[in-house]
Amino acid sequence: MAEIGIFFGTDSGTTRLMAKKMAKILGDVAAKPLNVNRISVEDMLAYDALILGTPTYGEGLLPSQTTGVKDGSWEEFLPQLCAHDLSGKVIALYGLGDQNKYGHRFANGMFELYSALKQAGATIVGDWPTEGYEFSESRAVVDGKFIGLVIDHGNQPLVTDERVAGWLEQVKSELLAVHA
């Protein structure tokens, strides 16, 4: 089994596309990315190192049936996951958002993952500088940094690949160190 599990929620597919990019860069150490609405909690718990991605929908929320994802998404999956003790899990987060249209709640959804996972005992790695983004407010900023990689592929497509590669370079060793 691969060492790093990659899971995402999505509505229009961009977060899936990013997961695929990451899997390609990571190669053999990463499993095939899967949508959280197609897996069981046990499928995710099989990994101690995880990359989890989410877009933001609604009023700064996680994707869900309520925000229009027919089969459900993070909002439905997260409580099931966090009913488990996640201590020992090392998790890197990435979030998709739109800083032009939603600069007052930019990538807020990623914070929902962060706070629930942390409360369940997970170690979160992979914070990311806020330089290069323009927004007025984001719950995803903690202690002056994003709590994971933020990608605004709609407004800044030209820097996406560089951001993804730079972030993976940073988190790969932290994720692989989980069994060291």
Ligand X SMILES: Cc1cc2nc3c(=O)[nH]c(=O)nc-3n(C[C@H](O)[C@H](O)[C@H](O)COP(=O)(O)O)c2cc1C
Which residues of this protein are in contact with ligand X, per CB under 6 A?
10-15, 55-57, 60, 96-98, 102, 105-108, 153-154
Residue closer to ligand X by CB (options 89, 105) is 105
Nearest position to ligand X, beta carbon: 97
In the bound state with ligand X, the residue whose beta carbon lies nearer, of 3 and 98, is: 98
- Tell me the C-alpha distance between 95 and 88, whole Å: 22
Between 18 and 82, name the residue whose CB sits nearer to ligand X: 18
Contacts 24+ apart (CB under 8 A), 20-24: 21/160, 21/161, 21/164, 22/51, 22/94, 22/164, 22/168
Shortest distance, position 71 Cβ to ligand X, whole Å? 13
Query: Is residue 9 within 8 Å of residue 36, measured between CB atoms?
Result: yes
User: Please, which residue, 106 or 146, has the CB nearer to ligand X?
Assistant: 106
* Segments of 57-151 assigned E as strands: 90-96, 123-125, 141-142, 145-146, 149-151
SS3 at position 17: helix
